[in-house]
Structures are given as structure tokens and as C-alpha cells.
């Protein structure tokens, strides 16, 4: 697994909001085929880190490169064909069909004067069927439930077909079955040669999906490393200010709040 191309190289990165340091300098590499999960309490800086990794916000210190090239050196449109970003919220204001909404992911693949062709429709429909939303293609997004809307947003990211996928709480609003199928979908994409970075809230989902974990403790420290080094009861207790038990079951660690 460690043989894939390095798609994301975080080097001594630090983040600050106003006067508050969200995280001290840390480094982490992510190769094609690997999944990195960002974990931590509310307001610790997971979204800020994800936006920074996507190149949407500058880091306070350190460097960041995507596919071997510093993130600020990428032309925005080329970068958009390589890395995709799923925001936490999907703020729809105007009516639009599900298919149109997913087709927005094709934007960076089309020229200035280009219109979506049959091939783009095929890509969008394939993405919709991957998230189980193909039957909804003609529906107005404003009429969808929260979970359905989230699956449409994930389909839009799949239609963008980036090699580096950054997702902010993709399991938001999803029922248990769709949470698991979304994780499986992300794992399948990684196995197909993508690298995935995702914010998750559920420690056990994180344990199920992650190769690497970046754990925020909410007080400016982060711990980055391989999954089993970071996901330990004592470390998690400190980060989440919650006592916790760790149970081994079927070869997996399961964390239960005490």
C-alpha cells in the first residue's frame, strides 16, 4: 500500500484563527490508495484544516503540496480536476434538478464555452447510481430530505472524478446503512487509486475507514499518525474529555463512552 504516488504532502503545517492556534506544526503524507480521517471535538479546527488542505485557505505556517506541486502554484482549474471538496453544508437557494446539481461536478472538465455532452451525463448518472440516487435524477433538490441531499452532494464529488477527495462530514444526515455504504464507496475509490481525506464525527466509523488519523484535542495540539497509534482509549479520552472503554471485537477496536 505504501507504494502509491504521494498525493498530499503536509509539511510542518500550522493553523490559526485570529489569535487562537488551532493546531501546532504537524506533518503527514498521504499516498494514492490511502484514507486519512480528521477527528476531534467541536470547534477544534477540522473544517479549517480540510479547507486549508483543499487550497481554499492559506496555512499560518508550513507548506502543503498536492501531487508534488505546492498548492498555491496550481492553476485553479487544473487543481479542480485533481482534487475535489465536499462542503459540510449544501446551501440550495434556487430550484434545480438532481441531475443538474450533480453535473456541476463536470465544470472543471469543460472549456469556457463548453456545454455538458452525453459523456458528462453518463458520468453524472453513474455517480448517482453509486450513491443510490439515480431514481431521483429528475427531482428538484429543494424537495429532498437531508440525507438524500447529502448523497446527491457526494455524487457531485464523484462526478468531478478527482484523485484527491476531501470530504467534510460525508456521513452527515445519513442513516446507518448509508453511512456504511458511503464509507465503502470511499474505500473503493481509494483502492481504485484515489487518496481520501475526510472529517468524521464517529470514532468507530473512523476506526473502520482510516489508514491514518489526525486527532485534534481542541487545545491546539494535534496527533497525526497511523490509525492504531492515534486511536487509543487514553489518547481519545484526553481529546474528547470523555472517559472511554476500548473493546476488541472481531479483530477491530470499538470505543464506547463510559
Is 76 among the residues that bind other proteins (CB under 8 A)? yes
Measured distance CA(151)–CA(170) in Å, rounded: 8
Give the CA distances from residue 175 to residues 43, 172, 180, in Å, rounded to whole numbers and listed in that order: 24, 9, 9
| Segment contacting other proteins by CB under 8 A, of 89-97, 205-213, 219-227, 248-256 | 89-97
Q: What is the Cα–Cα distance from 239 to 96, expressed in whole angstroms?
A: 41
Per CB under 8 A, 192 contacts other proteins: no
Query: Which range of residues in 12-20, 35-43, 97-105, 243-251 is near other proteins by CB under 8 A?
Result: 97-105
Q: Identify which range of 27-35, 73-81, 189-197, 228-236 contacts other proteins by CB under 8 A.
A: 73-81
18 binds other proteins (CB under 8 A): no
Minimum Å distance from CB 210 to other proteins? Answer: 22
Does residue 237 interact with other proteins by CB under 8 A?
A: no
Alpha-carbon distance 213 to 40, whole Å? Answer: 10
Note whether 96 binds other proteins by CB under 8 A. Answer: yes
For other proteins, which is the closer residue by CB, 116 or 237?
116
CB 172 within 8 A of CB 89: no
Which positions from 125 to 164 touch other proteins by CB under 8 A, shown as an x/- string? -----------------------------------x----
Residue with cell 453511512: 179
Separation between Cα atoms, residue 214 and residue 52, nearest integer Å? 14
From candidates 108, 218, 220, 225, binder to other proteins by CB under 8 A: 108
Instruction: Count residues binding other proteins (CB under 8 A).
Output: 35
Cβ proximity to other proteins: between 79 and 190 the closer is 79
Residue 170 beta carbon to other proteins: minimum distance, rounded to whole angstroms = 14
Considering only 19, 115, 176, 251, the residue that binds other proteins (CB under 8 A) is 115
C-alpha cell at 94: 434556487
128 Cβ partners below 8 Å, 6+ apart?
98, 99, 102, 134, 136, 137, 152, 155
The three cell numbers locating residue 254: 470499538
Judging by DSSP bridges, how do beta strands 212-216 and 195-199 pair with one another? unpaired
**Interface residue with other proteins, options 29, 63, 97, 204 (CB under 8 A):** 97
Query: Does 56 sit near other proteins (CB under 8 A)?
Result: yes
Residues 185, 209: Cα–Cα separation, whole Å: 11
Judged by CB under 8 A, the residue of 95, 146, 193, 257 near other proteins is: 95
Query: From the CB of residue 2, how many other CB atoms can be counted at a distance below 10 Å?
Result: 8
Give 71's DSSP letter. Answer: G
Residue ranges binding other proteins (CB under 8 A): 51, 54, 56, 76-81, 83-85, 87, 89-97, 100-101, 104-105, 107-108, 110, 112-116, 160
Amino acid at each position: 500500500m505504501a507504494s502509491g504516488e504521494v498525493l498530499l504532502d503536509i509539511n510542518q503545517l500550522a493553523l490559526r484563527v485570529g489569535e487562537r492556534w488551532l493546531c501546532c506544526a504537524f506533518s503527514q503524507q498521504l499516498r494514492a490508495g490511502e484514507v486519512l480521517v480528521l477527528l476531534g471535538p467541536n470547534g477544534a479546527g477540522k473544517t479549517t484544516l480540510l479547507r486549508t488542505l483543499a487550497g481554499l485557505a492559506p496555512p499560518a505556517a508550513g507548506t502543503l503540496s498536492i501531487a508534488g506541486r505546492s498548492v498555491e502554484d496550481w492553476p485553479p482549474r487544473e487543481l479542480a480536476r485533481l482534487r475535489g471538496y465536499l462542503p459540510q453544508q449544501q446551501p440550495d437557494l434556487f430550484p434545480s434538478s438532481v441531475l443538474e446539481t450533480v453535473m456541476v461536478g463536470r465544470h472543471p472538465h469543460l472549456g469556457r464555452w463548453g456545454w455538458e455532452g452525453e459523456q458528462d451525463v453518463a458520468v453524472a448518472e453513474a455517480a448517482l447510481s453509486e450513491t443510490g440516487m439515480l431514481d431521483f435524477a429528475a427531482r428538484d433538490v429543494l424537495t429532498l430530505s437531508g440525507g438524500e441531499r447529502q448523497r446527491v452532494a457526494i455524487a457531485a464529488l464523484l462526478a468531478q472524478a478527482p484523485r484527491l477527495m476531501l470530504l467534510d462530514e460525508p456521513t452527515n444526515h445519513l442513516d446507518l446503512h448509508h453511512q456504511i455504504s458511503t464509507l465503502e464507496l470511499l474505500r473503493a475509490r481509494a483502492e481504485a487509486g484515489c487518496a481520501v481525506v475526510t472529517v468524521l464525527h464517529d470514532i468507530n466509523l473512523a476506526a473502520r475507514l482510516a489508514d491514518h488519523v489526525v486527532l485534534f484535542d481542541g487545545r491546539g495540539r494535534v496527533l497525526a499518525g497511523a490509525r492504531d497509534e492515534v486511536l487509543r482509549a487514553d489518547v481519545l479520552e484526553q481529546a474528547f474529555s470523555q472517559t472511554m472503554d476500548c473493546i476488541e471485537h472481531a479483530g477491530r477496536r470499538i470505543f464506547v463512552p463510559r
